[in-house]
Chains A and B, each alone.
Chain A
Amino acid sequence: MLDLLTYDFMQRSLLAAAMVGGLCSVIGVFVVLRGLAFMGAGTAHAAFAGVALGYLIGWPPLLMAILFGLATVWITGWVEEKGRMKLDVSIGILYTATMALAILFIGLMKTYNAEIYGYLFGNVLAVTSEELGIIAGLSIVVIGAIVLFSKELYFIAFDQEMAEASGVPARRIFFLLLTLIALTVVISLKTVGAILVFAMILIPASTAYQLTHSLSTLTWYSVLIGITCSVGGVLISSYWDIPSGPAIVLLATVLFFVAVIFSPKRQRQSLAAT
């Protein structure tokens, strides 16, 4: 297994996996706590529609993915804020509408394009140096924003109205969070794919959630779990020659169930019940 690490493509994939895993698991903490899981899943499909349009009209697919992703989160965020529609309804509509657009765009293409399916299912082993640079750059932007606004992000995740009432510009922070979710999804598209990216956002944070009662500890656990699963998944996928996206996500899922079984919270509850 060790000689695999001497290959350039392997080093690139491990680096990409570690960055994407870390990034997804940090943003995941806020997604899980603020109850935005479904919104993330919707964003991933919208971003994929952006990729398809990019290929169709010959524009940079990642740029189009960012535009579609941002439009989706901002529209759903605005709808939630206005209270005009239940969030799950508005996301459900955008989710399926953007997926329909993606299928339409692919159908309009004259030739079969295998690269698009890379964005759907992800292939971290095929990450190029240029893509690695984009991942690194966008990761720095997202992590930087999270570090800069961490106290406000934690507060709105806990209780947005309370945060606003005590003088935090909660609305702007909420839209910042939505923007960061969209960017994270786009960054991760190439590595884990549109279908599985949300597992990488959701699972590490949910696993950490089983293990601690402290916000700061939760975040560190989540990052540790996210990076471990991504890197571990890539190694497993190359060693046994299985697709990387599923390897990462299934490894994370196994860890999640282990955490649920051994969760100190659950044990405390069952003690209380007896």
Chain B
Amino acid sequence: MSSPIIHFDHATFGFPGVVALEDISLEIQSGEFVGVIGPNGSGKTTLCRAVLGLMAPMKGHLKIFDCACDELRCHHRARIGYLPQKGVVDRNFPVTVLETVMMGRYGTLGLFARPSGKDHKIALDALAHVGMEGHRDDALGHLSGGQQQRVFIARALAQQPDVLLLDEPTTGLDITTQHNVIELVQHLHEELGLTVLLITHDINMIRSRVDRLVLLKTRLYAAGPPADVLKPEILSQVYGKDLVITEKDLVIVEDYHHHH
């Protein structure tokens, strides 16, 4: 097997006095579809920031594309297409769909370079990949939540990344839209051969689609094929009494939203 694209080696992350992730060892290979699950406050978003090179380990090592995390330069970051947790998009923020997607080209282009016709075409292709090409001149704020997520995924694709990193892409969407967004991600993984790191609390939505699941709660509790990770004895260590496993093997984490 080739060398991993992302390699955590006994890495600990946090701020002085606060440990968000402790002693993580994990390798992610090129072309893998990995789901990251865990309760709120388990360090999922910290993992995201670490992979983006925005946070260096306090202990241990993290290598991304053979580059130590704290040396991760801008052109390396551009190789990771990132969909941040859905913030509230200002309804009136004056930006069109195409302008939003073009921003995905800016990091890759580097300083001083002007976007060319080629960048324009890449952005339009990215919009076509997410089925939003008909909305290019619409105001971002006028789209539905699901459409906005598609546009942000297109922005990540416009970077022509090697890795797609998605932080809770389905939060705040209705159930049909959640399925559509996850299906789109799976489709992009298969069609473009992207390495996908998908962070979610919705275990059932992704269990049949990912190659591996990573279960976090500050420490790494399990990593492997979904069938090996989603065992009552493992899950209950992390979710405790909030966990209910139904007859059809659906995992239900009770009272999830009460922990906000």
Residues of A within 8 A of B (CB): 33, 148-149, 151-152, 154-155, 158-159, 161-169, 209, 212-218, 265, 268
Contacts and interface: CB of A to CB of B under 8 A. Distances in A.
A10 B109 CA distance: 45
Contact of B93 (A33, A149, A155, A165): A33
A169 to B, nearest CB: 6
Contact of A213 (B78, B84, B108, B139): B139
A218 B107 contact: no
Q: Secondary structure at chain B's binding surface: helix, strand, loop or mixed?
A: mixed
A214 B77 contact: no
A268 B139 CA distance: 12
Interface stretch (B95-103, B124-132, B170-178): B95-103
B106 interface: yes
25 contacts: A149-B111, A151-B109, A151-B114, A152-B106, A152-B111, A155-B106, A158-B95, A164-B77, A165-B52, A165-B82, A166-B159, A167-B74, A167-B77, A167-B79, A169-B111, A209-B92, A213-B95, A213-B138, A213-B141, A213-B142, A214-B94, A214-B95, A214-B99, A214-B139, A215-B94
A217 B28 CA distance: 43
A151 B94 contact: no
On chain B, which size bracket covers the interface? 35 or more
A165 B77 contact: yes
Given A148-B112, A155-B106, A166-B77, 11 more contacts: A158-B103, A161-B54, A165-B54, A165-B82, A165-B84, A167-B76, A213-B142, A214-B94, A214-B95, A214-B96, A214-B139
Nearest to A169: B74
Contact of A167 (B75, B115, B139): B75
Nearest to A263: B92
Contact of B82 (A151, A162, A209, A214): A162
Contacts of A214: 94-96, 99, 139
B80 interface: yes
Nearest to B87: A159
A169 B107 CA distance: 8
A158 B82 contact: no
A169 B112 CA distance: 12
A265 B54 contact: no
Given A151-B115, A152-B111, A213-B141, A166 B99 contact: no
A34 to B, nearest CB: 11
B88 to A, nearest CB: 12
A164 B54 contact: yes
B162 to A, nearest CB: 13
Given A213-B139, A215-B94, A155 B103 contact: yes
B104 interface: yes
Nearest to B152: A162
B244 to A, nearest CB: 36
B93 A167 contact: no
Contacts of A148: 112
Give the interface centre of B82, B94, B115 by most chain A CB atoms within 10 Å. Answer: B94
B93 A166 contact: no
Contacts of B109: 151
Given A148-B112, A213-B141, A215-B99, A166 B107 contact: yes
A166 B101 CA distance: 12
A209 B94 contact: yes
A268 B52 CA distance: 38
Contacts of A154: 99, 103
